[in-house]
Structure 1
Amino acid sequence: MKINPLNNTNLNPYLKQMQKQDNVKNTQQPQDKLEISNQAKKLQDGNEIVEARQEKVKELKQQVENGDYQIDPKKTAEKMIEFWNNRRV
């Protein structure tokens, strides 16, 4: 009678599973592609509202830095009241 040792290194029960995982990793997956139309590119580039807003912010920053920016408290209060009155349902 032949007795094999318990620690048989030639036996790996997970070898087939590991090979399948390697095969899946080696296959190339199709990559996603994104195409932007010319019209969408034009819309992104030249938005007049964004440019005007950036110009306004730039002017306000300069006024604040120079100390020329003045706040009208009455106008601010009127705008706050108008805002809260319009929010009520």
Structure 2
Amino acid sequence: MKINHTPGLNGVNPYQKQLKKADAAKNASAAAGDKLEISNAAKEMQDSTRLLAERREKIALLKEQVAEGTYKPDAKATAKAMLNFYGQS
């Protein structure tokens, strides 16, 4: 016995639904595009590295002045800054 034209078996791709989903996901991701966003914390970290470099330079300069004996601190300015810092102005 020969069966011809069985409904549902000829020309049916069982993976067609998966292919459509994969294509839709591919098109959606391509349409969205890449995006870069830098958080505020990351921006602060970048600024802090710059501040650290400035502090290192200042410390190196102060070390040189101390080693050469040319460093002359201002006692009144130091005392005033300490009082302002601790809130006793």
Query: Does TM, normalized by the shorter one, top 0.5?
Result: no
Per the normalisation by structure 2, the TM-score is: 0.43
Higher helix share: 2
